[in-house]
């Protein structure tokens, strides 16, 4: 099957492109490389030194004999997108190509607008190109668990059956996202759902939790295939950050009480979940939603686990509860469903097995590359 991975130079996309290529899919990567540009603008860098995209792809071919097509351009440019798709003719498109940081989207008006235009227009272009030229192509779109927010009821997978004034219907689950970035994902979900209902497109929205770890079978094959690992205050996510903080002796930066609870998954499960979605496509007209996470943790609980594992390695790990720069519920109910992917055969990796191999060991190996000035949070949600 021919699969185009949009955002294939990024953290989830690079690992997924190699995973699919290794399993015999014909893979193309489409990426504007804008993430590398944003890193330069913000003065940040991945912990792990990543090779330029052409070199990475060439190294993959030299090692495995497998070719990956490359299209460099921006999906908000419709003519570019159309040209790339007409050349590659995908049967499935995995769409990771968005601005994905909540703090980035909350820096100021410009970053909020950039995030929503980039994400919403890019996805809308994709829907049009599929409708006009590839109506049978299956869109696998990365959404996020944060679309739901933290409601005081169980979180279902995309839809909820509601009884109201004696009548019953199954409707899209209510959304209460926590940043302009997370809102862009909600807008995307609505647009994709509409395109499925009205044009009969087929799509799967993968509402992914927070991804951790850096190692997959393929990216671990060679130093030049290494994946990115962000630890800065804008693109770094909590657990990945905590491991790097532990490695350099910086107190773990828990925001507020740390009682916030989130769904999480190992990057090795990200790539597997995407393959499960691609190899079991949605029906024409169907808008499926899968909640893509394997375990839920409180942020304070994660910090405690890193402290324990770090101390066992001889690191001296402290936890610091900072004033929360975000506006979010810290004490809340959290019970999210995640059975759709398990039913398709997902066999999860668990954090207790991955913390050392896929995170702390990498953090220690590359700790000389850490810039301590980009660790404390600088972006605030408060007025
Ligand atoms: P990333 O920033 O590492 O990668 C995104 C890639 O998309 C980058 O290479 C970037 O250059 C590219 N891109 C962005 N806008 C583009 C555009 N307009 N045209 C072409 N390419 C563009 O992000 P990631 O962590 O790999 O996340 C990938 C996707 O998964 C995102 O949609 C994100 O919202 C979602 N997601 C990520 C996580 C996580 O923890 N990393 C969790 C849940 C969901
Ligand atoms: N947090 C800390 N300390 C830190 C960083 C974060 O306590 O140093 C807290 C935040 O306040 C928040 C939680 O940890 O309560 C998660 O924050 P995060 O930065 O790890 O993740 P988030 O902003 O939610 O975004 C990340 C990805 C995004 C994806 C999302 C999945 O960047 O692309 O959509 O995870 S989810 O959280 O399910 O929406």
- Mean pLDDT, to the nearest integer, of 323-339? 98
List the Cα angle 185/187/189 in 5-degree steps: 70
pLDDT at 231: 98
> SS3 of 27, please?
strand
- Mean pLDDT, to the nearest integer, of 314-334? 97
Alpha-carbon gap, residue 285 to 267, rounded angstroms: 30
Which residue's CA is the closest to the ligand 2 atom numbered 18? Answer: 237
Does 102 sit in the ligand 2 pocket, CB within 6 Å? yes
**Which tokens sit at 69?**
């097509």
Does 241 sit in the ligand 2 pocket, CB within 6 Å? yes
Which residue's CA is the closest to the ligand 1 atom numbered 29? Answer: 96
Alpha-carbon gap, residue 71 to 17, rounded angstroms: 13
Check the CA dihedral 284-172-112-198 and report its sign: positive
Using most ligand atoms within 8 A of CB, pick from 96, 144, 330, 380 the residue to mutate for ligand 2.
144
Cα of 95 vs centre of ligand 1, distance in Å, is: 8
- Mean pLDDT, to the nearest integer, of 229-242? 98
Question: Containing H/E element for 259?
Answer: none
Using most ligand atoms within 8 A of CB, pick from 262, 295, 381 the residue to mutate for ligand 2.
262
pLDDT at 357: 74
The string of pLDDT tens digits covering residues 238-294 is 999 999 999 999 999 999 999 999 999 999 999 999 999 999 999 999 999 999 999
Does 13 sit in the ligand 1 pocket, CB within 6 Å? yes
Of 378, 100, 364, nearest in space to 237 by CA:
100
The string of pLDDT tens digits covering residues 62-94 is 999 999 999 999 999 999 999 999 999 999 999
pLDDT at 353: 87
DSSP state of 212: E
Q: Are 135 and 91 in contact (CB under 8 A)?
A: no
Alpha-carbon gap, residue 165 to 259, rounded angstroms: 36
pLDDT of 156 higher than 90: yes
Alpha-carbon gap, residue 88 to 2, rounded angstroms: 8
Q: Which atom of ligand 1 is nearest to the CA of 37?
A: 11
Instruction: Please report which ligand is nearest the Cα atom of 16.
Output: 1
Per-residue confidence band for 354, with pLDDT thresholds at 50, 70 and 90: confident
Known catalytic residues are 144, 181, 185
The string of pLDDT tens digits covering residues 196-206 is 999 999 999 99
Does 11 sit in the ligand 1 pocket, CB within 6 Å? yes
Cα of 238 vs centre of ligand 2, distance in Å, is: 6
Average pLDDT, rounded, for the chain: 98
Q: Show the domains of the chain with their CATH numbers.
A: 2-374 (3.40.50.720)
Q: Could you tell me the pTM of the whole model?
A: 0.98
Cβ neighbors of 374 (< 8 A, separation 6 or more) are 43, 44, 231, 232, 233, 234
């Amino acid at each position: 099957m021919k699969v185009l991975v949009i955002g294939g130079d990024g953290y989830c996309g690079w690992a997924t492109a190699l995973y699919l290529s290794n399993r015999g899919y014909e893979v193309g990567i489409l990426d504007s490389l804008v993430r590398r540009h944003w890193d330069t603008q913000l003065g940040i860098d991945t912990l792990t030194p990543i090779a330029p995209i052409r070199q990475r792809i060439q190294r993959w071919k030299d090692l495995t004999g497998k070719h990956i097509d490359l299209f460099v351009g921006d999906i908000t440019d419709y003519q570019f997108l159309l040209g790339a798709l007409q050349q590659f003719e995908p049967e499935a498109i995995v769409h990771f190509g968005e601005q994905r940081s909540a703090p980035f989207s909350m820096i100021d008006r410009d970053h909020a607008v950039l995030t929503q235009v980039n994400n919403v227009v890019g996805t809308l272009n994709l829907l049009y190109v599929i409708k006009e030229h590839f109506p049978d192509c299956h869109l696998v779109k990365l959404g996020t668990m944060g679309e739901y927010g933290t409601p005081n009821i169980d979180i279902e997978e995309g839809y909820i059956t509601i009884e109201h004034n004696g009548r019953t219907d199954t409707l899209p689950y209510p959304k209460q996202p926590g940043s302009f970035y997370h809102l862009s994902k909600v807008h995307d979900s609505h647009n994709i759902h509409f395109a499925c209902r009205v044009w009969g497109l087929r799509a799967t929205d993968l509402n992914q939790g927070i991804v951790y770890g850096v190692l997959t079978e393929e990216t671990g094959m060679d130093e030049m295939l290494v994946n990115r690992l962000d630890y800065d205050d804008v693109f770094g996510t909590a657990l990945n950050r905590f491991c790097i903080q532990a490695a350099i002796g910086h107190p773990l930066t828990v925001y507020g009480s740390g009682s916030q609870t989130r769904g999480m998954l190992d990057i090795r499960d990200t790539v597997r979940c995407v393959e499960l979605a691609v190899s079991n496509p949605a029906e024409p007209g169907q808008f499926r939603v899968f909640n893509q996470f394997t375990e839920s943790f409180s942020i304070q609980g994660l910090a405690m686990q890193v402290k324990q594992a770090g101390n066992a390695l001889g690191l001296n790990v402290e936890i610091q509860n900072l004033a929360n720069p975000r506006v979010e519920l810290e004490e809340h109910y959290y019970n999210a469903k995640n059975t759709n992917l398990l039913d398709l055969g997902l066999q999860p990796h668990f954090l207790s097995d991955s913390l050392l191999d896929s995170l702390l060991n990498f953090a220690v190996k590359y700790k000389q590359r850490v810039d301590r000035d980009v660790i404390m949070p600088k972006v605030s949600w408060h007025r």
